[in-house]
A and B are shown apart, each in its own frame.
Chain A
Amino acid sequence: MGEQLIESADTLNLPGASQTTLLPALSAVPWLDAESAALVTGIVESVVTRHADLSAAILFGSVARHEERPLDDPAPSDVDLLLLFDSDPMTKRMSLDRRLAISHSIGLGMDRRLHAPREVNVVTGMSDLSDWSDEFVGSVTHDGILLWARGALPSRLARLELRNH
């Protein structure tokens, strides 16, 4: 799919998020509270603007499936967010410096929403998905919601791309 520019997103006017322009794809997740949706948006926006090698942002897990534990549960579900980055052909893994730089950007994106009701659990990986099990990739493909992408998704996520069109 083509690049979805956050700057062109519509304001969804969700309660509590009136000052935030949310990622358009989050309109497919109306059960996610506005503050947590704004936190997800802030993280993606921060990483998009600082890391040209970000290739996709995908919501997955219980919130994507709408099987999340509610906010009044003693342990409400986290929001699971997968960030995929361009693969480095020289290594199977991201270097620690690269991981820390991405983590720094994630943190900056969190700063305006540190007290959002749900924690956002960010998982980072290479876009070739070589370091993840087939089970994990299958779960993301089956349940994932594509929030942002630069260019086509990797072939292992082709079904997710089709579902989200």
Chain B
Amino acid sequence: MLGPDHRLAAEDIDATLPSLTASAAGERANRMIIEAYFGSAFHWIAFKSEQLYSKHKNNHSKLVSFLRDVGEPGIGDRWRVLEEIRNGSWYGHRHITEDVTQAEAIWQEIHTWASN
């Protein structure tokens, strides 16, 4: 995927977020909302990495290491927490409403970084 394609993918996911957060499923939509924040943030990171450093990762394996390597440790810190929230929402956590709030805050910071 090329850089601009990652931006389109991020914008596609972002466009679905209002319907997810307003879903009649209520808290049962939390896992999908977190997944959307996670997916969108990944594509924004890929887009911005390509723009700034002319390289990006097409999957999230070792993405924290990649971001530290190119000089974006703060984004790496945020991505690591978002990935942990996402993994927890699938595999173990019992109380995830708070995680949605935290995932949204991280996604917003990554989105702002990528949009500037």
- Output the residue of A103, A122, A124 with the most chain B CB within 10 A: A103
Residue-wise interface mask of A (120-135) relative to B, using a CB-CB cutoff of 8 A (1 in contact, 0 not)? 0111100000111101
| Contacting pair B93 A99 (CB below 8 A) | no
Question: Given A100-B78, A106-B80, A107-B68 in contact, is the A132-B87 Cβ separation under 8 Å?
Answer: no
| Contacting pair B61 A103 (CB below 8 A) | no
Q: In the complex the two chains form, what is the Cα distance from A136 to B93 in whole Å?
A: 9
What's the least CB distance linking A141 to chain B, in Å? 14
Residue-wise interface mask of A (79-96) relative to B, using a CB-CB cutoff of 8 A (1 in contact, 0 not)? 000000000000011001
What's the least CB distance linking B91 to chain A, in Å? 7
Q: In the complex the two chains form, what is the Cα distance from A115 to B65 in whole Å?
A: 8
Q: Tell which of B68, B87, B106 touches A96, judged by Cβ atoms closer than 8 Å.
A: B106
Main secondary structure, interface of A, reads: mixed
Q: Tell which of A100, A122, A131 touches B94, judged by Cβ atoms closer than 8 Å.
A: A131
Interface residues of A (CB under 8 A from B): 75, 92-93, 96, 99-100, 103-104, 106-107, 110-111, 114-115, 119, 121-124, 130-133, 135-136
Which partner residue on chain A sits nearest B98 by CB separation? A93
| Contacting pair A107 B92 (CB below 8 A) | no
> For this complex, into which size category does the number of interface residues on chain B fall?
20 to 34
| Contacting pair B77 A104 (CB below 8 A) | yes
Q: In the complex the two chains form, what is the Cα distance from A130 to B88 in whole Å?
A: 13
Q: In the complex the two chains form, what is the Cα distance from A103 to B74 in whole Å?
A: 9
- Could you list 7 examples of A-B contacts with CB < 8 Å? A93-B95, A96-B105, A103-B78, A104-B77, A106-B77, A107-B68, A110-B68
| Contacting pair A114 B73 (CB below 8 A) | no
Q: Tell which of A96, A103, A110, A131 touches B93, judged by Cβ atoms closer than 8 Å.
A: A131
What's the least CB distance linking A120 to chain B, in Å? 9
Question: Given A93-B95, A131-B93 in contact, is the A103-B65 Cβ separation under 8 Å?
Answer: no
| Contacting pair B81 A100 (CB below 8 A) | yes
CB within 8 Å of A: which of B36-66? 61-62, 64-65
| Contacting pair A107 B93 (CB below 8 A) | no
Write out the residue numbers on chain B whose beta carbons fall within 8 Å of the beta carbon of A99.
81, 84, 102
Which partner residue on chain B sits nearest A103 by CB separation? B77
Write out the residue numbers on chain B whose beta carbons fall within 8 Å of the beta carbon of A75.
61
Q: In the complex the two chains form, what is the Cα distance from A75 to B68 in whole Å?
A: 21
B3 in contact (CB, < 8 A): no
Given contacts A96-B81, A123-B87, A133-B92, 5 further A-B contacts (CB under 8 A): A96-B105, A103-B78, A110-B65, A131-B88, A131-B95
